[in-house]
Chains A and B, each alone.
Chain A
Amino acid sequence: MFNPCDKCEEVLQPFLDRELSEAEYREAEAHLDECGYCRKRYRFEERLRMYVRQAWTEEMSPDLKARLAALRTPLY
């Protein structure tokens, strides 16, 4: 399958990572307003990022926390 909107693919990453300048951001948003294809994919990418962020990780063990604290320089 091909991607019909290459322009969007170029700004997709920095747009979602909030790394575009304000002007670029507005331009991208304006494009999203009029391009249903890109809008769909942006939404998908956004959800995918949230999903990666929330990927399950167990909490750090209290034991490791204690070991880290024990690495501190003794005061005397």
Chain B
Amino acid sequence: MTESGPETDARRIAEDARERVRFEEEVLELADQVYRVARRLVSSREEAEDLVQETYARAFRSWRSYTPGTNLRAWLFRILTNLNIDRGRREQRAPATQPLEEGDYFLYNRLEAESGGDDEERIVERLSQDGIVDALSAVPHDFRDVIVLVDIGDFTYQDAAQILDIPIGTVMSRLHRGRRILKRELASAAVGEEA
């Protein structure tokens, strides 16, 4: 009995097709998460939809490069973030030139000074949902990518490092700095003056 021949080939092709179908179904199940993250990586709904579509086209095309049993989510989000970087970051804003020495508590101090001692919950409630969306889109891409992956994509630092192909220390420093920029943007929107 030989291992090749039309029957074995047919079996292999069928097995291959089954694996691909399973892969495609698993990837499609992640679509809502991919969209949510994409929607925060770029500023318009149209761009997010294009980005998600490109991501899926590439994922389906390169399914063989995924190793079964490894982190499919991380694999997929890596495609997403790479495509976003490839898009030339057209909407890239100039990096913040303002010094950030005020530290993490800048927003808190600002809002607290304004609100005259409300508790934390009330202080955060003063921020609007539109405000957070605008503030996030004002954060330069390198920093925003990390914030979106960790806060909205719920990835660990390790996964975010793998997805963006940067060292974990860079994830932490970008997260730290990115959140400061975010808070400064929020402060400026909430308090209504140039921060």
Contacts and interface: CB of A to CB of B under 8 A. Distances in A.
Interface of A: 1-3, 9, 12-14, 17, 19, 40-41, 43-45, 47-49, 51-53, 55-61, 64-65, 67-69, 71-73, 75
A48 B56 CA distance: 32
B145 to A, nearest CB: 14
Given A9-B104, A51-B127, A64-B52, A43 B120 contact: yes
Contacts of B150: 17
Given A14-B172, A53-B152, A55-B132, A60 B35 contact: yes
7 contacts: A13-B176, A13-B179, A45-B104, A47-B120, A48-B107, A60-B31, A75-B17
Contact of A3 (B53, B103, B120, B152): B103
Nearest to B31: A68
Interface in B105-129: 105-109, 113, 120-121, 123-124, 127, 129
With most chain B CB atoms within 10 A of its CB, the pick from A17, A19, A52 is A52
Given A1-B105, A57-B36, A44 B120 contact: yes
